[in-house]
Chain A
Amino acid sequence: MLAAILVLALLGLALGLGLGLAARFLRVEGNPLVEEVTAMMPGSQCGQCGFPGCGPAAEAMVAGKAPVTCCPPGGRALAEALAAKLGVSVDLSGMVDKPPAVAFVNEALCIGCTRCFKRCPTDAIVGAAKQIHAVVADACTGCEQCVDVCPTACLEMRPIRPTLDTWYWSRPTPGYC
């Protein structure tokens, strides 16, 4: 009996020591997971998640401080991929994919103040001071920062319409299951 207690106690001590040493000498510097998650993010630094950019958002998600559903431009697809990567379960039923939209300048109202294109993270707005601006749709990520700063409210988000090339059948309704 005594032998058993002794053996188990020694075993416990030895293993605990081993773990401590491993934690000290074998630790991985930094968290490569954060870099991988950052690479998966849209990268436009739009700030809709509430964090200053995609990198900080990735850090927060890896640390568990932010849900994987926090990125609206990434939508459902990104949330699923992040959930798979971080090994968390996520309830996507409440997540509605915001239809992708691009900004559009109402030329009648634009005063050429240049505030919007200074803000645009991808330089999708072209124009100069005192000249009417226009949005290059292909470069617009839909982050809406320009809409926030426009003083004359001449910017609005317009949903991207499907074309004959991009349209596809919707998900079938699963019947009664």
Chain B
Amino acid sequence: MEAASVPSPAAHDDHDHGPPVANQSSRVNSEVLGMLLFIISEIMLFGAFFTAYFFIRVVSKDAWPPGDGLPVAIAAINTAILLSSSVTMHWTDVSAKRDNQLAMKVGIVTTFLLGLTFLFIQINEYLNIGFTPETSASASVFFGLTGLHGAHVVIGLLLLWMSTVRIFKGKVGPDHHRGLEVPGIYWHFVDAMWIVVFTTVYIL
């Protein structure tokens, strides 16, 4: 019986040493991989709302844009703000790897504030846009897509807040910067996704 030729099972032992260190079977870091996969999920979530956009605007031809014209100019400025936050985020990352604590602090705070500004402008736009989700299906799609993105900005800001706290407590440096890198990846995704939302909703 060949199974017998397998060494007898490791004896059950309860003396408290921790788990054995897992074998790293891939070059990719697990936190980063996890975040990337999560982002795929997120993209699909937006995909579903873009499906709604497609069916309502293209298939059942509901009047687009909702209301009388969208404030493209403001949205464009807002886009610029969000993009610059990506730049500062990257800068923060770099300074973390260079262990430049001051630059890190400045970088993360500006990134956070830029994100916050984006959110405020967005909310302000909602209040003055002149129509509500009840108005029409197109309006629902508008609020659906921008709102979904807004929610992701909020999540992104929460993650950035964690990184900020940890940076100010001096917990982030060249050899332990996952706590910054991973939220960073998410933040870049939120920005990239905005480009898509902006072009489809405001420009096309």
Whether chain B is bound by chain A comes out as: no
Interface residues of B (CB under 8 A from A): none
